[in-house]
Structure 1
Amino acid sequence: MEALPRETVVDVLEKRLREDILAGRHPAGSYLPPERELADGFGVNRTTLKHAFGRLVHAGLLETRHGVGTRVRDFLRLGGADLLPMLVRHSPDWIGEIFEVRGSIGALIAERAATRATPGQIAELGPLMAAVAEADGGDAVQLADAEVHRALARATGNRVYVLLTNTLFNAYLPVRAALVDPFLDARAAHDRLAPVVEAVTARDPEAARVAAAAYLSATERIMLEGLARSRERRDGDR
């Protein structure tokens, strides 16, 4: 068992400020109140506040200008996909938009992989699929399944597809435990993904695109159902 992480005052303050920004209580383009006023309001010292600000600047939510103040960035206009895990943590409603992109990008990746994969990349898929079937437990199956998709992205020969695949998987992290349902049965997870890999191996781009679309649609439905049940349990515990 692992010890639970202990939140520091900076952690709590960062979370509070982040939620205020993402909820629109500090609109994009607006300046935060002066540091002394904020520190007094939160009951912290200015050093603690500066540490929290530093994290939010690094996250892309704030920008500071010496002698001017700290302003909320328009993250929807200026931010990148690296913000997705934080946005999902703030509101799981983002998951639906992530799945929409996952569906279109995933089908395109399979199609491109079927056209461009090298013999070595084709050979890599067999052991990765075997790892899905042999994985023990939903979490392990989910991770093994992800490695197949990373391999398919690499097989496109386009590194941007690889980075997009990584970004989408990273976006799931805050709610990954609630999305494990398609991977609870290792054999079923393997069989669900197998048509995609078979089409790529056969170098049939149309079949790969169709198979990937079917796989992504089926797993999306199962995952969203699991996420809904997780929300219902959480709401029932309140």
Structure 2
Amino acid sequence: MEALPRQTIVDVLEDRLREDILAGRHPVGDYLPPERELAHGYGVTRTTLKHAFGRLVQAGLLETRHGVGTRVRDYARLGGADLLPMLVRHSSGWIGEVFEVRRAVGALIAERAAVRATAAQRDGLRALLAAVAAAEGADAVQLADVEVHRALARATGNRVYVLLTNTLFQAYLPIRSALAAPFGDPAAAHGRLAPVVEAVVAGDGGAAHAAAGEYLAATERIMLAGEDS
């Protein structure tokens, strides 16, 4: 069994502050109350509060101005895709938007990979596809499937596609147990993904785009149906 992570008081406070910010209890653009008042309200020391502030500044939710105070950052206007994992955990409503981008970008990545993949990358894709069929358990199948998509992104030769793929996976992998329905049967998962890899290996960009679009739409439907059940 995997040991459960132990939360420190800073972890708990960071989670509480994040939830209060994302829920609008600390509105965007507003300065937070003075540290002494806020620390008292949360029942923590000012040192603990400063540590939590530091993490939320790094996450892009707060900005601190020396001598002025700490303000809630307009993360929707100024934030980047790195905020997605946090936002998806806060509200499941984000997952539909993540999937929309996943469909559009995933199909384009497959098309580019078909045109640009090297012989070694094509061999690697075949091996990773075989690993999907050989995996045991929905979680292992899902993670094997992820590696195929990471390899497709690398095969485009475009590092931005790689980083964007990583970001999209980081957004929903933490909640993947709720989205595991397409991966319960390794053979079926392999069968759905095989046309994408085959088209890429064949160097057919149009077929790869179409196959990836169909694959991503199909797995999305299964995932969301499983989440609703």
Query: TM-score with structure 2 length normalisation?
Result: 0.97
Three-state SS of the structure 2 residue aligned to 1:219 is helix
Q: Structure 2, unaligned stretches of length 5 or more?
A: none
Residue identity opposite 2:179 in structure 1: L
Q: 1:224 & 1:2 partners in 2: Cα distance?
A: 27
Aligned 1:157-196 pairs, distance under 5 A? 157-196=157-196
Amino acid at match of 1:203: G
**Separation in 1, partners of 2:2, 2:111:** 41
After superposition, residues 145-160 of structure 1 pair within 5 angstroms as: 145-160=145-160
SS of the residue 1:25 aligns to: coil
Q: Counterpart in 2 of 1:66? A: 66
Aligned equivalent of 1:9: 9
**Aligned match of 1:223:** 223
Alpha-carbon RMSD across the aligned residues, in angstroms, is 0.9
Amino acid paired to 2:123: A
Cα distance in 2 for residues equivalent to 1:156 and 1:7: 40
Please name the residue that 1:119 is paired with: 119
Q: Which runs of 4+ in 1 moved over 3 A?
A: none
> SS of the residue aligned with 2:29?
coil
Distance 2:55 2:156 in 1: 35
CA distance in 2, matches of 1:172, 1:108: 20
Aligned length: 229
In structure 2, give the amino acid aligned to 1:193: L
Deviations 1:127-158 (A, max 9, x none): 11110000011111111111111111111111
Equivalent in the alignment of 1:85: 85
CA distances 1:171-217 after superposition (whole Å, capped 9, x unpaired): 01231111111111001000000001111111111111111010000
Secondary structure (helix, strand or coil) at the match of 2:64 reads strand
Deviation of the 1:24 alpha carbon:
1.2
- Residue identity matched to 2:176: R
Indicate the residue corresponding to 2:94 in structure 1.
94
Please give the alpha-carbon distance, in whole angstroms, between the structure 1 residues aligned to 2:95 and 2:197: 25
Other structure's SS at 1:55 match: helix
Query: Counterpart amino acid of 2:97?
Result: E
Matches within 5 A, 1:104-115: 104-115=104-115
Question: In the TM superposition, what is the alpha-carbon distance from 1:77 to its structure 2 partner?
Answer: 1.2
* TM-score computed with the length of structure 1 as normaliser: 0.94
For 1:170 and 1:72, locate their aligned partners in 2 and report how far apart those are by CA, in whole Å: 24
Q: What SS does the corresponding residue of 1:63 show, helix, strand or coil? A: strand
Q: In percent, how many aligned pairs have the same letter? A: 77
Which residue does 1:54 correspond to in 2? Answer: 54
**Unaligned residue ranges in structure 1 (runs of 5+):** 230-238
Matches within 5 A, 1:27-38: 27-38=27-38
Aligned to 1:207: 207
Deviation of the 1:226 alpha carbon: 1.6
Separation (CA, whole Å) in 2 of partners of 1:130 and 1:41: 55
Retained in 2: the 8 A contact 1:121–1:155? yes
Aligned mates of 1:49, 1:36 — CA distance in 2 = 9
Instruction: Indicate conservation of the 8 Å contact 1:88/1:174, yes or no.
Output: no
Following superposition, the deviation at residue 39 of structure 1 comes to 0.9
- TM-aligned CA deviation for residue 221 of structure 1: 0.4
SS of match in other structure, 1:191: helix
Task: Give the drift of 1:5.
Answer: 2.1
